[in-house]
Structure 1
């Protein structure tokens, strides 16, 4: 018997591996070995396909559950996510400003958008969660508002050449349209909602329907087990297969997931797909905590830029699978303003999973985060607490947004004499710090996003930095 790394792979040989014993007879695998090798190969492929599929399944899950929860089934239906319960369903939602979101598709023809002027951040994304175009301050309208034409695969752009609109193309049939108003002024919010219009090409832009005040608990976290693959099969049936994705769709075919065919896996395929989903989720959690494709943003800390890849999700030589899997496991959406902010515009998302001693953050310990004075933002900053299990805003029994999100607009926050602020996260708050505390419960592991809206130069030149969490 030999170990795999010493195997000759010829003649009669028995090979010991981490996943079982393999046998060759006159160089060929025996029937039992063949079955074991296929199981191993298919489980590995399923785990890799899980990483690949995360952005697509993330949007498909959100679309379906928003339809169920909010009744957002019409062409011009925009859900307004404002309350804690509405936002707590979204993976790593920002809790400081309302979201206004629509899912639609281009099967019926190009979509026209009349976008309002004002201090907004938004965009149109394809279903791989890649920006088709930014809207608002980081978009071509630069916050002045304007008209857009969203083309789908195969649509002719010639009819819109002289339309006066910004013409862009999505590589997927399904699209996501969203924006948020970067102010708490209710008049600006009302004006933005009034100015938003949507139509199909050939029709006049029409006011949209806003679905508001539903205030229900729900979840857009992608499913585990076989349901993940059912959701993937559904959305793949609606979308073209891009050239860059053909190798991954080929890996899924032996597991019963074939575009254009019913998804009905047999017992073996089901077992392997469920194993692959579990293994894939463990892979991506390891990438979250120990990313090997990047370094901490600030030296001698554990703080990383959460979005650390190109919005196209590709370079000249690679599809950025690990980078985008990390982000789309714990978050949703992408815009150019998130990836390539410039001083005074865009947003930055910072995250940490370890404390100042390098230990993993725990739900049963209390930590202090010291936020130095003069946070380099032209707009505001926020710290939001998320569950590692669901990646949604943390459910600690609180009913107010500030129970899981604290920000620089919060008048209840207690600042130090020098303008710095100490925030606390854990099962209990040190005496007198309750206004600066977010509670953790049981074994529900957590992480935060420290968001900087319109970061300024001290962030980019790193003359301002966040220290690590300190365990108390």
Structure 2
């Protein structure tokens, strides 16, 4: 295939050069969209968290996720707390965890992992004082702290407590006993938690992910944060598009149109990675429709030997939020496993207007608990229906009959009338909308890995 660029006396002809510039800008915009989607997503989390009543360095949002909460693949299994830390204002900040079944992490403004806390962290659930250092901090780190450095001023602190034995009150009490305060001059008792469980909350970039608003938010972040060395090339790409720290973002009409189109196409391409990937390693078991959500179990940075796994990164951030090594581990007894189903046993996408059955062999190999959660394909958030729920959870619903070797779960627009008890094991879906499911196992046991235990596929009921 020859170049479409025409030359005159070995120099690019002007009309061809203009065409080449437009095509180059389009390609740059698409690559930048994919690369910086996690950045815009995290900034959206920050804005949604503040809108729910949280305040940087002062109060976190506490929530037991419900369908009213728009957030990428949030689940109703555990209470969450999300807090925004502003290290420019506070300096180094301490996150002090008590002993107990807490799971936490800190990610920077680009949604890059900083540190794990609690059970998957260096304190291993025994409690500890984690210290988040700001960019370019060059003072000695005092003893007695588990220190980690952020490359950005803004940090997301994400925590959850496991409600062992179904004791939700105890989990919330443990979660709200976490203390957050500046290293220098901070009061450990000032940090609070604001409960947003009964409020509508949106922590997603859905409103801007397919339009010019994406680039406006990205410019604000780039302008506010120090440059990260590993992002130099992509920051240069943004600069060519008029998105540069210290400079106003004033795209021409043509550039604005190009950027809006690139956002719409980039979003669609990321959804292809999420739900129509061609990667063979996404499949969990031969002959089953279940897929791994995370494709890089060895780390939280999507690195593979010699390169960044861009498909794995796109796939994750199109569906989910935050990343850490603990989230992707595939090890007996450690963390949790996330499996995705977006197709039925016949290979068709799950349709909110059809009825399905899912057979789950018992016992499920979970040392803690397990759950099935349904998400809307467009919002990547819990399905919203008149039923008002999107999850079936072994901790809170009676979905595992004593002595049974399997249980059937039901999904569809209308409440099933048979067999007996089916309505108690049913999640309502919305006609005309696609949906997908996450199967989560907390404290996975060996059969979850060796193939001796496998959930069935979704089977359409006629």
Paired position in structure 1 for 2:125 = 143
| Number of residue pairs the alignment of both structures matches | 448
Q: How far, CA to CA, are the matches of 2:331 and 2:315 in structure 1?
A: 23
Question: Once the 2 structures are TM-superposed, how far is the Cα of residue 225 of structure 1 from its aligned partner?
Answer: 0.3
Preserved CA contact (<8 Å) 2:131 2:148: yes
Preserved CA contact (<8 Å) 2:351 2:431: no
Paired position in structure 1 for 2:79 = 98
**Residue in structure 2 matching 1:51, options 31, 34, 46:** 34
1:268-319 CA-to-partner distances (Å, cap 9, x unmatched) read 1111111111111121111122323423011122212112223023234212
Paired position in structure 2 for 1:155 = 137
* 1:276-425 equivalences in 2 (<5 Å): 276-293=262-279, 294-309=281-296, 310-399=299-388, 403-413=389-399, 415=401, 418-425=404-411
Could you tell which deviates more after superposition, 340-349 or 369-378?
340-349
* 1:233-272 equivalences in 2 (<5 Å): 233-272=219-258
Question: Once the 2 structures are TM-superposed, how far is the Cα of residue 434 of structure 1 from its aligned partner?
Answer: 2.0
1:170 has 2:159 as partner: no
Q: How far, CA to CA, are the matches of 2:153 and 2:75 in structure 1?
A: 27
1:451 has 2:440 as partner: yes
Q: How far, CA to CA, are the matches of 2:446 and 2:221 in structure 1?
A: 42
- Counterparts in 2 of 1:434 and 1:136: CA distance versus 1, 3 Å: same
Q: How far, CA to CA, are the matches of 1:297 and 1:157 in structure 2?
A: 47
Normalised TM-score (structure 1): 0.89
Preserved CA contact (<8 Å) 1:113 1:205: no
- Counterparts in 2 of 1:25 and 1:415: CA distance versus 1, 3 Å: farther
- Counterparts in 2 of 1:416 and 1:225: CA distance versus 1, 3 Å: farther
Q: How far, CA to CA, are the matches of 1:249 and 1:271 in structure 2?
A: 21
Q: How far, CA to CA, are the matches of 2:399 and 2:363 in structure 1?
A: 15
1:149-185 CA-to-partner distances (Å, cap 9, x unmatched) read 111221125242xx21111112222111121110142
**Residue in structure 1 matching 2:98, options 116, 140, 144:** 116
Partner SS for 2:201: coil
Q: How far, CA to CA, are the matches of 1:38 and 1:351 in structure 2?
A: 40
Preserved CA contact (<8 Å) 1:199 1:205: yes
Question: Once the 2 structures are TM-superposed, how far is the Cα of residue 414 of structure 1 from its aligned partner?
Answer: 6.8
1:66 has 2:66 as partner: no
Preserved CA contact (<8 Å) 1:298 1:462: yes
Normalised TM-score (structure 2): 0.91
Preserved CA contact (<8 Å) 1:313 1:319: yes
Question: Once the 2 structures are TM-superposed, how far is the Cα of residue 187 of structure 1 from its aligned partner?
Answer: 5.3
**Residue in structure 2 matching 1:79, options 54, 61, 77:** 61
Q: How far, CA to CA, are the matches of 1:363 and 1:187 in structure 2?
A: 34
Partner SS for 1:43: helix
Preserved CA contact (<8 Å) 1:23 1:30: yes
Preserved CA contact (<8 Å) 1:414 1:435: no
Q: How far, CA to CA, are the matches of 1:205 and 1:314 in structure 2?
A: 39
1:343-390 CA-to-partner distances (Å, cap 9, x unmatched) read 222011110222212222222222222111111111111111111111
Q: How far, CA to CA, are the matches of 2:386 and 2:202 in structure 1?
A: 16
Question: Once the 2 structures are TM-superposed, how far is the Cα of residue 213 of structure 1 from its aligned partner?
Answer: 4.5
Could you tell which deviates more after superposition, 211-220 or 271-280?
211-220
Paired position in structure 2 for 1:19 = none
Partner SS for 1:96: coil
Question: Once the 2 structures are TM-superposed, how far is the Cα of residue 410 of structure 1 from its aligned partner?
Answer: 3.5
Preserved CA contact (<8 Å) 2:238 2:244: yes
- Counterparts in 2 of 1:442 and 1:28: CA distance versus 1, 3 Å: farther
1:393-417 CA-to-partner distances (Å, cap 9, x unmatched) read 1112333xxx211111233437497
What is the RMSD computed on CA atoms of the aligned residues? 2.1
1:90-125 CA-to-partner distances (Å, cap 9, x unmatched) read 211011211011011211311112111111211222
Paired position in structure 2 for 1:18 = none
Partner SS for 1:257: coil
Question: Once the 2 structures are TM-superposed, how far is the Cα of residue 267 of structure 1 from its aligned partner?
Answer: 0.5
Q: How far, CA to CA, are the matches of 2:367 and 2:235 in structure 1?
A: 44
Partner SS for 1:378: strand
